Structure 1
């Protein structure tokens, strides 16, 4: 019976298997490296896209902040202009005030009273004079209280010197009023499309005392 030497075949088979294992290991390593680079490239691409979006959003936010700042600046300018317009309107309305005040001083002064001094400080008016009696002073105060251009009469001094027919010296204070300014302020407070409260004119008291 012939003998067959299997050692060379076994050695060749082991060598082939080692080569196949080496090729498979190298292929697996290359595949892993390839997968790593592909995944890394995809992640980096996603990060770059997100960074680009973030940059775009930041630029848009800065632009909106700039527009908001401009709008706020325009609002401030509008408020300043409205304040100036209000001051100008009040000045226009207050121009004839002194004429009305002197007219009311004449109209509200009853018979038996004459003024010796008129002093104005801001909106306060100090009136000094001589009255035939205290009832004349009371009538004068009622007339002032009924006036549209004067209000809040307050008696400070009332004294009689010398003979009883010499009259009484008095000092009273009043406040200057402007019904036009008050009506304009009421309309502005009520807002557009609304009417402010209607002011009722107080009845005029005749200049003569009863």
Structure 2
């Protein structure tokens, strides 16, 4: 029986399989490279887009900071304006009160007592002056205690003058009590009541 040599055919088949495997492996490698490259491009595009959004947000935040700074400046200006208006209104309200206070002080200042300075600190008045004696200072304090516009007189210091000179210097404080209510009898602006004639 004749013999058939199959070795060449098997070698050819083996070479063909190796070639196909190499082609498939190369195609897979190329596909992987393409996938990685596309992924890199997509990631780079996403990063660029995010950076653009971040820059836009930074610009908007900077604009908001400027607006907030302007608002804070306006609020500060408003607060200063309101404070000035309150001071002006307070001064306007205190004018009649101060006039009455000085009028009452001039009436209740006893003989032998002379004021050299009057200083206002909030609702407190500081009186500085000279008196012929400490007794006259006490009289002045009693007069202030009965004053409608002043209350709580407190003596801070009383010092005798130099030798051979009679009198003393003094400093005392008193609180502002506020203007009293105006009665019908002394209010010239309030209309008088008419009394009907009885019959």
User: How far apart in 1 are the matches of 2:159 and 2:100?
Assistant: 26
CA-based RMSD of the aligned residues comes to: 3.6
Q: 1:148 to 1:83 in 2, by over 3 A?
A: farther
Deviations 1:2-38 (A, max 9, x none): 3323343233213312221221121111111122123
Check the 8 A contact 2:160/2:167 in 1, yes or no.
Answer: yes
Write out aligned runs for 1:113-124 (5 A): 113-115=110-112, 117-120=114-117, 122-123=119-120, 124=126
User: How far apart in 1 are the matches of 2:131 and 2:77?
Assistant: 50
The aligned counterpart of 1:57 is: 57
Q: How far apart are residue 153 of structure 1 and its match? A: 4.7
Higher RCO, Cα 8 Å, sep 6+: 1
The aligned counterpart of 1:4 is: 4
1:125 pairs with 2:127:
yes
The aligned counterpart of 2:72 is: 72
Write out aligned runs for 1:149-168 (5 A): 149-150=149-150, 152-154=153-155, 156=158
TM-score, reference length from structure 2: 0.64
Where structure 1 has 5 or more consecutive residues not aligned to the other structure, the ranges are 160-167, 184-199, 202-210
Deviations 1:139-189 (A, max 9, x none): 432121232545535272579xxxxxxxx9565434476556xx9xxxxxx
Secondary structure, counterpart of 2:171 in structure 1: strand
State the number of aligned residues: 170
Where structure 2 has 5 or more consecutive residues not aligned to the other structure, the ranges are 121-125, 182-199
